[in-house]
Structure 1
Amino acid sequence: MMEHVRLEAITWERLGDSLADRLLDLEPHDGSSWPRIAFDGAPAARPGDLAQRVAEILRARGRAVLVVGTEGFLRPASLRFEYGREDVDTYYDGWFDTGALWREVFGPLDPGGTGRVLPDLWDAAADRATRSAYVQLPPGGILLLHGPLLLGRWFPFDLTVHVRLSTGALRRRTPENEHWMLPAFERYESEVDPGSAADVLVRADDPRHPAWNG
C-alpha cells in the first residue's frame, strides 16, 4: 500500500518542470509515435490543473501537446442516471464512456495510427454531442488525459500520475452535494490502490505545498 512511499516536498512550479523534463525523454512502450500520460485524481484534487501546467511548459519547449479531460466523454444522462442521480456503482463503472475514449483518443494514437483525436464528445450540461472538430496531433506530440478513476482500466498509458488527497482532505474539498461520490473513491483506493499503481504520486492535501515521489 502507498503508506510506505517516501514523498518529497516540492512547489507546483518545480513539479511541473520536473514532469515536463520526464515527458520530453519518454518513449512509448509499444512503439506508438505519441506518448500517452494519465493525470488521475478525484475532481477535488484537480488533476486537470496539473495537466494544464505541464502542457504549458511542454509547449514553451516546442512540443505539441493535447490535453483531454474525461468530463468530455461522459455518457448521456439517460445512461448515467438510469439508477438515480447518486448511484455510486454507476458513477464508478458507467459514467464515463470508456469505449469512446478507446475509439476516439487511444485508437488514433496506437502504433500506425492517424494521430487524429477527438478532444471531447459529449456536453453533459446540454446533454448532447459537442460536435467538436478533430485535432491532429503530430508524431511526437503528447497526450495528457486527466480525470478520476483512470487507473486499472487497461488504458495504454506510458506514464501515470496520481494526484492524491487523504480521506479527510477529499471530504473537506469535495462540495457537499457531491459527497455521495466519496464511496466510489474509497472503492478505488481498495481495489486499485492508485497511490501504488501510479508511476508518479503527488500528494495535494495542502494545495499550497504538494509532495511527490519523484
Structure 2
Amino acid sequence: MGPVRLEAITWERLGDLLADRLLDLKSADGSPWPRIAFDGAPAARPGDLAQRVSDVLGIRGRPSLVVGTEGFLRPASVRLEHGHQDPDSYYDGWLDTGAVWREVFGPLEPGGDGRVLPDLWDPVADRATRSPYVPLPPGGLLLLHGPLLLRHWFPFDLSVHVLLSPGALRRRTPGPEQWTLPAFERYEAETDPGAAADVLIRADDPRHPAWNG
C-alpha cells in the first residue's frame, strides 16, 4: 500500500462523519438496502465502529442492522479440521461464505424480502444459534463487520478498513490468538485492504485514530 494522507480524528467524530456519508448512500445494483463493510482484524475492533455508526444513524432516522461474521463461522469439526492453530484454515476455511451469501446478502438483493439472519452458528457452544430473522426496512443499511472481508467479492456499496500496523496488530492481539497473524500478513499481500477500501482508518493508537475521509 502506498502512502495515504490521514487526518487525526476522535472516534466520536469519526462515527458522526461516517454516518453523514451513509445517510445518502445508494446501492450500486438498485437494491433498496445499501451494504457496508467494516473490515479489520479482531484486535482493531471493527464491530465497535460499526455499532457506533449504527447508533448515530438511528438518532438521525436511518435504520441499520449490524451483523458480525463471527456468527457465521463453520462448525468446529470443519473449521478445525487441520488443527486449532492453522493460519491457512483461518484464512480460507473458517467463514461460511455460502451462509453469508444466502442469509445476509441474498435477502438484500433487488427483489429480496429484507429479512436477514443476524447469526447462524455459535462458535463457542458449537451449535446453531436459532436466532430469528430480522426485517430490514427498505432504505435500511447493512453494516457487516469482521476480518478478511474484502477478499470474498461480497457486494459492498462502501467499505471501511480499520488498519493496524504489523507491530500494533502483534501487540494488541492476545497471546492465544497470535497464530492468526500470518493470515493477516497474507491478506495484506494478496488483497491490500487499505488500498481496496473506500475509507481507511488507522487505529494503531486506540485513543487517537486517523482516517482518509
Pick the TM interval, shorter chain. Answer: over 0.9
SS in 1 for 2:160: strand
- Aligned pair 1:150/2:152, yes or no? no
- Rounded to whole Å, the distance in 1 between the matches of 2:102 and 2:201 is 29
Q: 2:106 matched to which residue of 1?
A: 107
- 2:118 corresponds to which letter in structure 1? P
Give the Cα–Cα distance (whole angstroms) in 2 for the partners of residues 27 and 131 of structure 1: 31
Following superposition of structure 1 onto structure 2, how do residues 1-214 of structure 1 map, counting pairs within 5 Å? 1=1, 3-214=2-213
Amino acid in structure 2 at the alignment position of 1:139: P
Helix, strand or coil: the match of 1:37? strand
Deviations 1:84-140 (A, max 9, x none): 000111100100100000000000000111000000000111100000000000000
d(CA) in 2 for partners of 1:141 and 1:132?
Answer: 20
Q: Secondary structure at the match of 1:133?
A: coil
Q: How many positions carry a matched residue from both structures?
A: 213
Where structure 2 has 5 or more consecutive residues not aligned to the other structure, the ranges are: none
Cα distance in structure 1, aligned partners of 2:160 and 2:135: 24
Q: How big is the shift at 1:152?
A: 2.1
In the aligned structure 2, how far is the partner of 1:33 from the partner of 1:142?
9
Q: What SS does the aligned partner of 1:4 have? A: coil
Quick one: distance in 1 between partners of 2:194 and 2:35? Answer: 19
Structure 1: unaligned runs, 5 residues or longer: none
How much does 1:10 deviate? 0.6
One-letter code aligned to 2:108: L
> Once superposed, which parts of structure 1, at least 4 consecutive aligned residues long, lie more than 3 Å away?
none
Identity, in percent, stands at: 80
CA shift at 1:15, angstroms? 0.5
Superposition RMSD in Å:
0.5
